[in-house]
Amino acid sequence: MVKVSFVCPVFNKQKYLKDVIDSIKNQKGEFDREFIFINDGSTDHSLEYLKKFTKKLKKVKIINQNNHGPAVATQHGIDVSSGDFLKLVGGDDILHPECTNILLNTIVKNKSVGVFSRYELIEDYKKLKFKKSKPSILKKIDFPLLDTVKSSFSGTSPNLYCNKTVKKSGGCNKRIFVEDFSLVLGISTFGNFCFIDNVTSYGPKDDSSRIMVGNKTQLIHDYNAALFYFISKRNISKKIKKIACKKALGRAEKWGRRLKKKNSLNKMNWLKIKLFFGYENFNEILKSSCLYFYENLNEESIRYKIC
């Protein structure tokens, strides 16, 4: 029987934890399971709630550590996991009862290293009604690195990953704050990805404590940083490196223009022009796309700036 490791990093999520843990408990399917929760230096009652709501679970590990951010916390959970597959769960996300079962059947059937599904934001978990659904395959990508760079495949709760592959690839880059994109980049060179058109998990809408809502600068920066670290240590084609640079420059330029009101005559567009005319110092371009954030921060801060 295959085994699934549920890995859930938590930072100040006490108001969500009962629902989150209940949704993990209620996962349907014939598979062995273990549950790993990482309290990442919470300053609320998250650790207390984790202990309280997991009492009836078997094979539970609760790791308590100082705050380092989701990448370090998630990787800590991955390091101690023993399952065949990894079910990462956001500390404020709810899983559909069939989430793991649908993803597991899909990843096994297609011999994939990662399966991706859809995620929905909702205003009130109490009003959530689960709909029955069967796996609906959208596409399968046999060599997903190029598409991962182009489309920035990422995610935790809606996805399932091969644990052996994640560990072989190095998992989450602990030099970055945000966890998921670096993990997906890493495994994208080891096997195929499969995508299904099913909503398998849900997150709270308009919660400013979520990185994607309240700290977009960190999120955008970390996508560029993930590319910088990945490209600098991989022997990959110039084509993919060039596309990675275009994506990083585009993200940084858009951030500067929309959030910082920078005009179009900025360093990122100048580097785009150089790239177009054949400039091939890709590492320098990707590094510059990160440095651009540090040069234009106001009241914001970024944890784990690139070296």
Convert the pLDDT of each residue in 260-292 to its tens digit: 666 667 899 999 999 999 999 999 999 999 999
DSSP per-residue letters across the chain: --EEEEEEEESS-HHHHHHHHHHHHT--SS-EEEEEEEEES-SSSHHHHHHHHTTT-SSEEEEEE----HHHHHHHHHHH---SEEEE--TT-EE-TTHHHHHHHHHHHTT-SEEEEEEEEES-GGG--PPP----EEEEESS-HHHHHHH----STTEEEEHHHHHHHT-S-TTSS--HHHHHHHHTTSS-EEEEEEEEEEEETT-TTSHHHH-HHHHHHHHHHHHHHHHHT----HHHHHHHHHHHHHHHHHHHHHHS---SSSHHHHHHHHHHTT---HHHHHHHHHHHHHHT-SS---SS---
| pLDDT category of residue 207 using cuts at 50, 70 and 90 | confident
Q: Is 197 in the same domain as 227?
A: no
Whether 190 and 237 map to the same domain: the answer is no
Domain boundary among 206, 237, 263: 206
pLDDT exceeds 90 at position 307: no
Domain match, 244 and 133 both: no
- State the total domains in the chain: 2
More confident residue, 230 or 299: 230
- pTM of structure: 0.95
The mean per-residue pLDDT over the stretch 185-212 comes to: 92
pLDDT of amino acid 147: 98
Q: Say whether both 152 and 284 belong to one domain.
A: no
Query: In the predicted model, what is the mean pLDDT of the chain?
Result: 94
Last residue of one domain, picked from the residues 206, 234, 268 = 206
Considering the domain boundaries, does residue 307 fall inside one? no
Examine the domain organization and report whether 253 and 189 are in the same domain. no
Domain that holds residue 229: 215-295
**Higher-scoring residue by pLDDT: 253, 135:** 253
In the prediction, which pLDDT does 126 show?
A: 82
Q: What is the pLDDT averaged over residues 138-149?
A: 95
Residues 185 and 140 placed together within one structural domain of the fold? yes
Do 130 and 187 lie in one domain? The reply is yes
